[in-house]
A = this chain, B = another copy of it.
Amino acid sequence: MTDTVICGTIGLDDIKTPFGIKKATLGGSVVYSAFASSFFKKPGIVSIAGKDLSKENLALLSRVDLAGLSFGKKTFRWQGVYEYNMNEAKTLKTELNSLAGFSPNLPPSYKNARFLLLANIDPEIQLKILKQVNPKALVLIDSMNFWIENKKEALKSVIKKADIVLFNDAEAREFFNTPNLIRAGRELLNLGPEYAIIKKGEHGALLFSYDRFFSAPGYPLEVLKDPTGAGDSFAGGLIGYLSCSDKINEAQIRKGIIYGSVIASFCTEGLGLENLIKIKLKDIKERYEVMRQIREF
């Protein structure tokens, strides 16, 4: 039985940053999230790829359970470029390919999962997964600006059903039309979830709950090579840590956020997945300790 299920996209990405270029490299929200989560427990993924996925890429995916993976003709393609300030990817091209018309089916072995991460994907697909999963599962949802701009009502429906909702800073500001992240976080809670998290990249992350607030530092990096997948890694690291916790409470979510931040920091130090493939849990734990030291006063 698979305890942690992650739904999102699988893609072949063309990435260009000031530090290098990757062509048709394995990516997508479910891949980064599941890799990050796999440091704690092997997750299952729900997604669709294409028959063009190479043996090497399938071999990379062996660290996750593939019972929920289906195959269409061609894999989703994304082409993005990061400029000098590395803040946001400029999408040059998107080809939905097999993602178009994807209707997810949860395999029987996933139905009793206790942890569900709905990583970035069409919120209508996220809603379909929610109808199939164990209603007692802890649900985390992540999204992106594209869905705020194009399917805001469906996205709101997903948020209402989630326990923990994740946005990045730009998305939170856009969703609630405010420059103030503290207000955006409070408004996110008003939509229904018990916890709201705003990821701020180099500036760390904020956690909001009914009567508590947490501010996580960013891991200090002098070189940031490629932000692709950082937000997905953050979400995956968080659900991975929680899936190994005895109970889920605000204190555990704080720790999970630090693990997510640390894994995201490794992610951005390599192009595409290259760093997530290399690192070990030991490396993650070392940076977790650094995060303790840098916030003591």
A residues with CB within 8 A of B? 84-87, 179-183, 186, 200, 202-204, 206, 213-218, 220-224, 251, 254-255, 257-258, 291-292, 294-297
Contacts and interface: CB of A to CB of B under 8 A. Distances in A.
Contacts of A87: 179
Contact of A200 (B203, B206, B222): B203
B222 A183 contact: yes
A132 to B, nearest CB: 34
B213 A294 contact: yes
A215 B180 contact: no
18 contacts: A84-B179, A86-B179, A180-B221, A180-B222, A180-B224, A183-B222, A203-B204, A204-B217, A213-B220, A214-B294, A215-B218, A215-B220, A217-B217, A217-B295, A254-B297, A257-B297, A291-B297, A292-B297
A215 B216 CA distance: 9
Nearest to A185: B220
Contacts of A213: 220, 294
A296 B180 CA distance: 23
